[in-house]
Amino acid sequence: MALAPLVLVGMNVVYAATAYPAGRLADRISPRVLLVAGIAALVVADVVLALAPGLAAFGVGIALWGLHMGFTEGVFSAMVADAAPASLRGTAFGVFNLLRGVLLMVASVVAGLLWDRVSPAATFLAGAALAASSLLLAKLVSPATVSGGQGRTERVRTP
């Protein structure tokens, strides 16, 4: 328990180190590619954290969790901005963050129940299963379906 704060420190260090390079990469390739890579990193992170035999493996899981955050957080914002018409962009971000907050609260309650009533490993394995199912969903849903064809279609390129 004394090392618990170091989990967030480690995750945030990797997140901070990868967010900018991932954002630059998202300007050059499809953000969907980074989103899928980030979700895949989360699946692996959750499995590693569920099965970690020691602190070194636990550290790898934490680093992969940070990589997931670095690859996905900025991409989510870019995807919301791309999908929303300019006149509704602020509303789109508000709705996105409202839904995200509500779903994070529900997920946290479910994770806490799994942790307390089943095991910590069950919490991470359930997270891995849900993240893997979102990968399948990402494959089934086309970008045109998500944006309705109304969002921006061109990406800003940086030198």
Domain membership flag for residue 156: no
pLDDT, one tens digit per residue, over 22-31 is: 999 988 998 8
Contacts with 91 (C-beta within 8 Å, 6 or more apart), sequence order: 84
Structure tokens at 72: 């996905």
User: Can you give the pTM of this predicted structure?
Assistant: 0.84
pLDDT, one tens digit per residue, over 33-46 is: 999 999 999 999 99
pLDDT, one tens digit per residue, over 99-114 is: 999 999 999 999 999 9
Domain membership flag for residue 17: yes
User: What does the alpha-carbon distance between residue 159 and residue 58 come to, in Å, rounded to a whole number?
Assistant: 38
User: What does the alpha-carbon distance between residue 7 and residue 127 come to, in Å, rounded to a whole number?
Assistant: 17
Domain membership flag for residue 124: yes
Domain range for residue 34? 4-146
Which of the four pLDDT bands, split at 50, 70 and 90, describes residue 152? very low
Domain membership flag for residue 85: yes
Domain membership flag for residue 28: yes
Domain membership flag for residue 129: yes
CATH number at residue 16: 1.20.1250.20
Domain membership flag for residue 56: yes
Structural domain tally of the chain?
1
